[in-house]
């Protein structure tokens, strides 16, 4: 099994690296091909030619696109992403500082959503003919339709304003005060994970319903296992597969959602920095930030791919016969 997992890992890793490069090219080109010259974007249409020239020098915008791209990517590997235009912060350091809350938020949401989706999806599948199964599915449907920012605002109304149980905004690093950090993450993680959980739940459910009709399940039932244990033993692994296939889409949604959630809950993470950089037309910061976000998405996809390789019983069986 070990050798096989490595093979899956390397293949996925290669794909991830290829996607990362492709994505970086897309980001790089988008910023240069659309909307005009970067210096004018950053300094405004009324900037003097001298200040434009200075900016171009400072950010190396006079070099050919290929040179700029290579220099940027080289910097990424070295960890040097340059300074913000106002010179107030070093982009690399700022991103590193903000990674903690964003990663806690996104990974936390992902980790919570998977087990919940499995449990709820299976439950809803087993009971798909009864009211309790149907109502759970309806709930998932509604959960899918709620925009994250709206959910965030509703949570703020209920839990922060009306009940005062949890803080509405703000974040303190785990290293400074873990209790406050945890408290301030409860609402954001719940908000972010709800949508993802709803999607996963529905996929688990449909997959489970299919499984329940498959021959091997009937055999298991005939052997005397209850539907429930059969579901857990055999159906679960197969049901997890649709999570991996849809996971690709959901990870992107997670990162996109983190931009919104960080904004509403005032969490100083990567998503919030992206938004402020966009608003202040800091094209260079946006470039690196977009790449970092893309890398996080791809890394999470890699994780899911591994999970897929781990869980797919047919692949494991193949391995077993080796």
Partner 1 sequence: MKKSLKLPGLIAVALSAALVSSTMAFAATPKPGEVGSTTLRASHPQKPTSWNYLQDGTSALMVPTYLNIMESLFETSGTGVLKPLLATGVDVSKDGLTYTISLRKATFHDGSKFDSADVVYSLQKNKTSVNGVINGPLAAVKSVKASGPSKVIVTLSRPSNAFRGGLGKPTTMIAPEGYFESANVGKKLIGTGPFKFGAFRADIDLELDAYSGYWGTAKPFFKKVIHQFRSDEAATISALKTGQLDIVGMLLGAGVDQVKGFKGDSKYQTFFWPSTSASYLFLNPNTKVLQDIKVRQAIAHAIDRKPIITAAVGGYGKPSCVVVPTWTSPWNSTYCPYPYNVAKAKALLKEAGFENGLTLDFPYLTLAEFPVSFEILVAQLSAVGITVKGRGMDIGTWVKEVWSTPTPVYDINHITNNAALDAYGCKLTTPPYGNSILCDPVFEDFISKNDAIVDPSKYTAAMKAQAEYIADQSWMIELFSKNEPGIANAKLTGIAKYRTDYEMDYRNIKWKK
Partner 2 sequence: MKKSIRNFRTQPAIKSPQLIVGIILTGLVLAITLVSFFWTPWDPIAIDVEKRLLTPSFSHWFGTDRLGRDLLSQIMVGSQNTLYVTLVSTLIGVVLGTSLGLAAAGSGPRWGGILTRISDIGIAIPSILIALVLATTLGPGRLSVIIAISFWFVPVTARVVVGPARQILSLDFVEAAMTHGRTRMYIVFRQVLPNIAPIVIVQTSMMFAAGILIEASLSFLGVGAQPPTTSWGKILMDSQPLVQEAPYYTLLPGSFVVITVLAFNLLGDGLAVLLDPQQSQKGVA
Q: For binding to partner 1 (CB under 8 A), which residues are involved?
A: 43-47, 84, 86-89, 94, 97, 156, 160-161, 164, 166-170, 266, 268, 272-273, 276, 279-281
Query: Any contact of residue 265 with partner 2 (CB under 8 A)?
Result: no
> Which is nearer to partner 2, 65 or 182 (by Cβ)?
65
Neighbouring C-beta atoms of residue 162, cutoff 10 Å: 9
The residues, ordered by sequence, that sit 6+ positions from 47 with a Cβ below 8 Å of its Cβ are 39, 40
Quick one: tokens of 170?
Answer: 């703000």
Write down the least CB distance from residue 266 to partner 1, Å: 5
8 A C-beta contact, residue 59 and residue 287: no
321 binds, among partner 2, partner 1, none (CB under 5 to 8 A by kind): none
Using CB atoms within 10 A of its CB, is residue 215 exposed (0-12), middle (13-18) or buried (19+)?
Answer: exposed
Helix (H, G, I), strand (E, B) or coil at 90: strand
Q: Report the distance separating Cα 169 and Cα 271, nearest Å.
A: 15
Select the residue interacting with partner 2 from 14, 17, 119, 161 (CB under 8 A).
161
Write down the least CB distance from residue 261 to partner 1, Å: 13
Query: Any contact of residue 47 with partner 2 (CB under 8 A)?
Result: no
Query: Could you please report the per-residue DSSP string of 30-69?
Result: HHHHSSS-HHHHHH-TT--HHHHHHHHHHHTTTS-HHHHH
Q: Report the distance separating Cα 141 and Cα 201, nearest Å.
A: 10
Query: Any contact of residue 277 with partner 2 (CB under 8 A)?
Result: yes
89 binds, among partner 2, partner 1, none (CB under 5 to 8 A by kind): partner 1
Select the residue interacting with partner 2 from 187, 251, 267, 304 (CB under 8 A).
251
First-residue to last-residue Cα distance in the chain: 9
Query: Any contact of residue 128 with partner 2 (CB under 8 A)?
Result: yes
Helix (H, G, I), strand (E, B) or coil at 83: strand
- For partner 2, the binding residues (CB under 8 A) are 15, 19, 22-23, 26-27, 30-31, 34-36, 38, 41, 128-129, 141-142, 144-150, 153-154, 156-157, 161, 199, 202-203, 206-207, 209-210, 213-214, 242, 246, 248-253, 255-256, 259-260, 263-264, 274-275, 277-279, 281-283, 286, 290, 293-294, 297-298, 301
């Amino acid at each position: 099994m070990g050798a096989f997992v490595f093979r899956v890992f390397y293949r996925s890793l290669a794909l991830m690296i290829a996607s990362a490069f492709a994505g970086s090219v897309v980001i790089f080109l988008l910023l240069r091909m659309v909307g005009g010259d970067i210096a004018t974007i950053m300094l405004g249409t009324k900037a003097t030619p001298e200040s434009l020239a200075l900016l171009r020098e400072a950010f190396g915008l006079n070099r050919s696109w290929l040179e700029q791209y290579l220099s940027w990517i080289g910097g990424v590997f070295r960890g040097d992403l340059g300074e913000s235009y106002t010179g107030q912060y070093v982009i690399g350091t700022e991103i590193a500082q903000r990674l903690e809350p964003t990663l806690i938020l996104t990974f936390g949401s992902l980790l919570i959503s998977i087990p919940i989706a499995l449990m709820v999806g299976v439950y809803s599948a087993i009971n798909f003919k009864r009211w309790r199964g149907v109502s759970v599915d309806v709930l998932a449907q509604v959960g899918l339709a709620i925009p994250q920012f709206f959910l965030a605002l509703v949570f703020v109304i209920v839990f922060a304003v009306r009940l005062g149980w949890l803080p509405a905004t703000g974040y303190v690093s785990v290293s400074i005060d873990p209790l406050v950090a945890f408290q301030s993450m409860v609402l954001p993680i719940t908000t972010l994970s709800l949508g993802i959980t709803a999607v996963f739940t529905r996929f688990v459910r449909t997959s489970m319903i299919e499984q329940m009709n498959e021959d091997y399940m009937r055999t298991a039932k005939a052997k005397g296992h209850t539907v429930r244990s059969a579901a857990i033993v055999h159906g679960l692994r197969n049901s997890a597969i649709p999570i991996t296939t849809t996971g690709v889409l959901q990870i992107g949604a997670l990162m996109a959602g983190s931009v919104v959630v960080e904004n509403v809950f005032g969490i100083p993470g990567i998503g919030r920095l992206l938004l402020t950089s966009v608003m202040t037309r800091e094209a260079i910061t946006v470039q690196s930030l977009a790449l970092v976000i893309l890398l996080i998405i791809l890394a999470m996809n890699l994780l899911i791919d591994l999970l897929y390789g781990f869980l797919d019983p047919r692949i494991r069986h193949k391995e077993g016969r080796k």
